[in-house]
Copies of this chain bind each other. A is one copy, B any other.
Amino acid sequence: MKSIKLIKGCDLTFNNAIQEGQYVLLYLDKKRKWLVKILKDAKIHTHVGYVTLNTLIGKSYGSSIESSLGVTLWALKPTIEDYALKAERKTQVVYPKDMGMIAVKTGVSSGSIVVEAGTGSGVLCMFLANLVRPNGHVYSYEIRKEFLELAKKNLEKAGLSKYVTLKEADARKGLDVVNADVAIIDVGDPWSLVKPMYNALKGGGMLAAICPTMNQVEKLVEELKANNFIDIESMEVIVRGLEARMGMTRPVTRMIAHTAYLTFARKTQPSDKG
């Protein structure tokens, strides 16, 4: 193999070794993956035998490991999607396809200030927190204490707690945030959050709402129009798998038909006299 001349900035001293205390995605096949914490004495039991996790310490992510029954599994570094899909949940959570569209439409990225109403299980919160790192922050409101505790647990697992402030409060009564770049609404009565979110956003700030039903979208959009939001856009994101096999390629047989509609809008400042 030819020697590699590295471009400036690409790290040759990079350490990709699995360390004690880290999480690993143990991969058997597409349908069987486990998110496990690497502890000295941890074993995981699967239907292909048990796996002794400490033998992974010091090995590179991407390495294989054999189960007690001689089956090969792979130790992968969990992505934010893995943490999201493996999160404990008590509610319907936001799907990756919808999180991706929220990222691209709102532009949430490093340094963003995000305010969210409806923490739920914290899955969208976790995704947003990962994007705003290291200088941004997510403020997330939830009225149900048991969800906040669940969200806290999920955020800690993903190592993202410090980028999030969870608050047990009714967001409809007003938010302790101003000048937010992005506002997220994920509650059953999204229209009741329009005014509080208007106040929390900076001028030109982006609002995104997640609504399972068409009726919610209808009422939300009316309220957005009445409250100085513009560029209002609603949509659904649909993902269809493709089974690619040489000479037999075709879409998958079954799919998720619907999760939620997404609505986006931008805050204007009509009273601003410059």
Chain B residues with Cβ below 8 Å from A110 are 109-110, 131, 133-134
Shortest Cβ gap from A225 to chain B (Å):
10
Query: Does A174 interact with chain B (Cβ within 8 Å)?
Result: yes
Which stretch in A34-42, A44-52, A54-62, A143-151 binds the other chain? A54-62
Query: Does A71 interact with chain B (Cβ within 8 Å)?
Result: no
Q: Are A248 and B7 in contact (CB under 8 A)?
A: no
**How often does this chain occur in the complex, in copies?**
4
Chain B residues with Cβ below 8 Å from A111 are 133-134
Could you tell me the dominant secondary structure of chain A's interface residues? mixed
Among candidates B59, B64, B268, residue contacting A64 with C-beta atoms closer than 8 Å: B268
Residues of A near any B CB (own CB < 8 A):
1-2, 4-12, 14, 16, 27, 30, 55, 58-64, 74-77, 79-81, 96-97, 99-107, 109-111, 113, 127, 130-131, 133-135, 137, 139, 165, 167, 174, 176-180, 199, 202-206, 212-215, 217-222, 230-231, 233-258, 261, 263, 266-270, 272, 274
